[in-house]
Amino acid sequence: MLTNRPPIHPGEILLEEFMKPNNLTSVELSEKIGISCEYVEAIINNQQVIDISVALYLSELFGTSPELWLNGQMQWDIWHFLHGKKAEKLKMIQPIVKFPNSESRITGL
């Protein structure tokens, strides 16, 4: 995981790599996968997460794996957590199991 800049939000990937090349509007995509146009717009504007159901719908529509969408969302979420206000709490947690040759299992701490 990159530590100096956030990963690309899966909504941006959806827009740039799947919607634009297939000439799909938000309305058309929402109709094809059965979610609201507002939800699609929120995803592509990085304001909403891609959850399991949406990942499955997108994978079916575009012939991808659901993991493509979920892994992208997970990387986005982890990076923002590690670079947000709650990251300090991780430093206060004392592990009950130590992994050999590591101070933290989480990169960047």
Q: Where are the domains of the chain?
A: 10-92
What fold, for 10-92? 434 Repressor (Amino-terminal Domain) (1.10.260)
Q: Give the Cα separation of 52 and 3 in Å (integer).
A: 26
45-95 pLDDT tens trace: 999 999 999 999 999 999 999 999 999 999 999 999 999 888 888 888 888
Task: Please state the pTM of the whole predicted model.
Answer: 0.82
Q: Give the Cα separation of 73 and 55 in Å (integer).
A: 10
DSSP designation for 77: H
Q: Give the Cα separation of 37 and 25 in Å (integer).
A: 9
Q: Give the Cα separation of 8 and 60 in Å (integer).
A: 22
